[in-house]
C-alpha cells in the first residue's frame, strides 16, 4: 500500500469512527519551532478526522504530548506532566493518551515512559508523524499500547494538512534534520540527516498561505543556511529567499536557525536585496572561547563570528542580532567564560537565549571530563543574563519616541485590552487597539521601552 493509500484508508476509517461524536483534542508542545509546526500538522490531521481543539484537558478525547529532549529539564517536565494524567485516564477510559516527538525518538526513553506510565496508549517518534492516522486507528481499536519508532528518517512526505496557530504569520519547514553534530547536541540523533524540501513544494505552500491572508512567514530548519546542499542542483538558500521574496501577498520573511559557519556572502547579499526579508538574524554563538568552540565542534572561531556580524551590519543597516549561548560546557574555565561575556559585550545582541549545559546521553560531550561545579555554572548563567539584560534595556531605550511598523498578531497574552505584534527587527510591541486590526500593518510610536518588550501608541 502506498503512503497516500494508507493515509486515505485510515483517515476514512477514523472519520467514520469520529462521526457525530464531537471528539476533542488537546496537544501539549515542548521544544523548538520545528516541534510547534509538527504539532500544527498533528492538529491538521485531527481536524480532518473531525476532532475539535479544546484547551480544557478534562473534556479532551485525545491528549498528545509532543516532546523535546534538548535539555534534561525539558524531559523532566514531560515525565511530570504525563504522570499527572493518570487520574484523567481513570475517569475517562476512552481517552487516548499519546506521547511523540524528539524524546520518543530515543528508544530507551520511549521504553522508560511505557514502563513508568503503562496507561499511555500511543508512542511514536519524529520520523513517522505522517503515519499518525494509522497509529491512531490502531490505538483506538486495540487494548494495548501502540508503539512505533523508526530508526531511519525516510523520504520527505508532502501534503500533510496543518492547522496553524495564526493566519497572519506562519511557520514553513524548508528542511528537516541536521548534519552538524555539535558535540553537546542531541538534535541530529533524533531528527536525522539534512533533507531539503523541493523549492516548488515550498513556494506552492507559501503561495497558498498568502492566498489565505498570511502576511509573514518564518522558514524553519535546524540550519537553514545549508538548505539545498543535499538536492545537488546548485539551488541554495539565497536562491530560495529570492524566490520567496517574489510571492505576492507575503510582506515579511524570517528564518531560523542560521549556523555561522554556513552564512555565506551570497546569503548576506540576498538578505540585503530582498525587501521582504526582515532586519533580524538569529545567529547562535554558543560560546565565546575558541577552545570551547573547538570542543563543541562548531567549526568557527570568535574572530570569524565577529567578522560575520560586521558584514551583516555593514550590508543591512539596523539589523537586530539574537543568539543562543551555553554556559558550563565540560571543562569551561573562568577564562573561557570571560571570553563569552566579552563576545556578548562586543556584539551587543538584541536578545539571547542562555542555557546551562545539559549532558545528553549518546553525544560526545557527555563523556568529556567536566569538573565545573553546578553552583559555578549557575553563577555564570546569572552573570550572563545580567549583562544581556543591561544590553537589551539600553538597545530598547533607543526606540523611545520612534515610530515602528508593526504586524498586528493578536491580543496580548498578559493584558486582553492590548494588542501585540512585532517590528521587522523582531521586537515585541504592545499597544491599545481593537481586534479588527489583527493581521494588519500599523505604525506605533514607542512610549515605554522595557527590557524585553516595547509599549507604544498607535498613530
Least Å from the CB of residue 342 to ligand SAH: 18
In this structure, the number of other CB atoms found within 10 A of the CB of residue 397 comes to 12
Contacts with ligand F3S in 126-165 (CB under 6 A)?
none
Distance CA 55, CA 368 (A): 43
- Of the candidate residues 39, 196, 223, 412, the single one contacting ligand SF4 (CB under 6 A): 223
- Of the candidate residues 65, 132, 349, 357, the single one contacting ligand SAH (CB under 6 A): 357
Beta strands 169-173 and 146-148 are: unpaired
Least Å from the CB of residue 65 to ligand F3S: 12
Residue 181 binds which one of ligand F3S, ligand SAH, ligand SF4, none, with CB within 5 to 8 A depending on kind?
ligand SF4
Interface with ligand SAH, residue 456, by CB under 6 A:
no
Least Å from the CB of residue 66 to ligand SF4: 17
Look at residues 221, 171, 216, 214 and name the one whose alpha carbon lies nearest to residue 196.
221
**Strand ranges (E), 134-288:** 146-148, 169-173, 175-176, 195-196, 216-220, 252-256, 280-282
> For ligand F3S, which is the closer residue by CB, 220 or 407?
220
- Binding range to ligand F3S, per CB under 6 A, among 26-34, 166-174, 197-205, 432-440: 26-34
- Binding range to ligand SAH, per CB under 6 A, among 17-25, 207-215, 287-295, 357-365: 357-365
- Binding range to ligand F3S, per CB under 6 A, among 164-172, 184-192, 230-238, 267-275: 184-192
Least Å from the CB of residue 381 to ligand F3S: 19
- Of the candidate residues 35, 218, 226, 286, the single one contacting ligand F3S (CB under 6 A): 35
**Cell numbers placing 334:** 573562568
Beta strands 428-432 and 62-67 are: unpaired
Interface with ligand SAH, residue 355, by CB under 6 A:
yes
Cβ atoms of 184 and 284 closer than 8 Å: no
- The site for ligand SF4, by CB under 6 A, has a size of 10
Interface with ligand SF4, residue 180, by CB under 6 A:
yes
Interface with ligand F3S, residue 259, by CB under 6 A:
no
Cβ atoms of 116 and 75 closer than 8 Å: no
Sequence-distant (≥ 6) Cβ neighbours of residue 394 within 8 angstroms: none
> For ligand SAH, which is the closer residue by CB, 308 or 454?
308
Residue 211: Cβ-neighbour burial (10 angstroms; 0-12, 13-18, 19+): exposed
Beta strands 403-411 and 351-356 are: unpaired
Cα dihedral value 65, 68, 69, 71, nearest 10: -120
Distance CA 305, CA 323 (A): 12
Contacts with ligand SAH in 24-53 (CB under 6 A)?
32
The single residue listed with the C-alpha cell 504592545 is 430
Residue 128 binds which one of ligand SAH, ligand SF4, ligand F3S, none, with CB within 5 to 8 A depending on kind?
none
Spacing of C-alpha 213 from chain mean position? 22
Q: Which residues of the shown chain bind ligand SAH in the complex (CB under 6 A)?
A: 32, 70-71, 184-185, 187, 222-223, 257, 259, 284, 286, 324, 326, 355, 357-358, 360
Q: Which residues of the shown chain bind ligand SF4 in the complex (CB under 6 A)?
A: 178, 180-182, 185, 187-188, 222-223, 259
Q: Which residues of the shown chain bind ligand F3S in the complex (CB under 6 A)?
A: 31-32, 34-35, 68-70, 102, 186-187, 190-191
Amino acid at each position: 500500500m502506498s503512503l497516500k493509500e494508507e493515509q486515505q484508508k485510515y483517515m476514512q476509517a477514523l472519520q467514520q469512527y469520529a462521526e457525530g461524536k464531537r471528539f476533542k483534542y488537546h496537544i501539549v508542545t515542548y521544544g523548538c519551532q520545528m516541534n510547534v509546526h509538527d504539532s500544527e500538522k498533528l492538529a491538521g490531521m485531527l481536524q480532518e478526522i473531525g476532532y475539535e481543539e479544546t484547551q480544557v484537558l478534562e473534556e479532551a478525547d485525545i491528549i498528545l504530548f509532543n516532546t523535546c529532549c534538548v535539555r534534561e529539564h525539558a524531559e523532566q517536565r514531560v515525565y511530570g506532566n504525563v504522570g499527572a494524567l493518570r487520574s484523567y485516564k481513570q475517569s475517562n477510559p476512552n481517552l487516548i493518551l499519546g506521547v511523540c516527538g524528539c524524546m520518543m525518538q530515543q528508544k530507551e526513553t520511549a521504553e522508560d515512559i511505557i514502563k513508568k506510565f503503562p496507561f499511555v496508549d500511543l508512542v511514536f517518534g519524529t520520523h513517522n508523524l505522517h503515519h499518525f492516522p494509522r497509529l491512531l486507528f490502531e490505538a483506538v481499536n486495540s487494548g494495548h499500547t501502540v508503539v512505533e519508532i523508526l530508526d531511519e528518517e525516510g523520504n520527505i512526505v508532502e501534503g500533510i494538512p496543518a492547522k496553524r496557530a495564526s493566519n497572519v504569520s506562519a511557520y514553513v519547514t524548508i528542511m528537516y534534520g541536521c548534519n552538524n553534530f555539535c558535540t553537546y547536541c542531541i538534535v541530529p540523533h533524533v531528527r536525522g540527516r539534512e533533507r531539503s524540501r523541493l523549492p516548488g513544494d515550498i513556494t506552492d505552500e507559501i503561495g497558498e498561505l498568502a492566498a489565505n491572508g498570511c502576511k509573514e512567514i518564518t522558514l524553519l530548519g535546524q540550519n537553514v543556511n545549508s538548505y539545498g546542499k543535499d538536492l545537488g542542483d546548485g539551488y541554495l538558500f539565497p536562491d530560495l529567499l529570492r524566490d520567496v521574496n517574489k510571492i505576492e501577498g507575503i510582506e515579511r520573511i524570517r528564518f531560523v536557525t542560521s549556523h555561522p559557519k554556513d552564512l555565506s556572502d551570497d546569503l548576506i547579499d540576498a538578505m540585503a536585496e530582498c525587501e521582504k526579508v526582515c532586519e533580524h538574524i538569529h545567529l547562535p554563538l554558543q560560546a565565546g572561547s575558541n577552545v570551547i568552540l573547538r570542543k563543541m565542534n562548531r567549526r568557527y572561531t570568535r574572530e570569524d563570528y565577529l567578522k560575520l556580524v560586521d558584514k551583516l551590519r555593514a550590508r543591512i543597516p539596523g539589523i537586530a542580532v539574537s543568539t543562543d549561548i551555553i554556559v558550563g560546557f565540560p571543562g569551561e574555565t573562568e577564562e573561557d567564560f570571560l571570553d563569552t561575556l566579552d563576545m556578548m559585550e562586543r556584539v551587543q545582541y538584541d536578545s539571547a537565549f542562555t542555557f546551562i549545559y545539559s549532558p545528553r546521553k549518546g553525544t560526545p560531550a557527555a563523556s568529556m571530563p567536566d569538573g565545573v561545579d553546578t553552583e559555578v555554572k549557575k553563577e555564570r548563567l546569572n552573570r550572563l543574563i545580567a549583562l544581556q539584560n543591561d544590553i537589551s534595556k539600553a538597545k530598547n531605550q533607543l526606540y523611545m519616541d520612534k515610530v515602528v511598523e508593526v504586524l498586528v498578531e493578536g491580543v496580548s497574552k498578559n493584558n486582553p485590552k492590548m494588542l501585540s505584534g512585532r517590528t521587522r527587527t523582531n521586537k515585541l510591541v504592545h499597544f491599545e487597539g481593537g481586534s479588527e486590526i489583527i493581521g494588519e500593518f500599523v505604525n506605533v510610536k514607542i512610549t515605554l521601552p522595557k527590557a524585553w518588550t516595547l509599549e507604544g501608541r498607535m498613530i
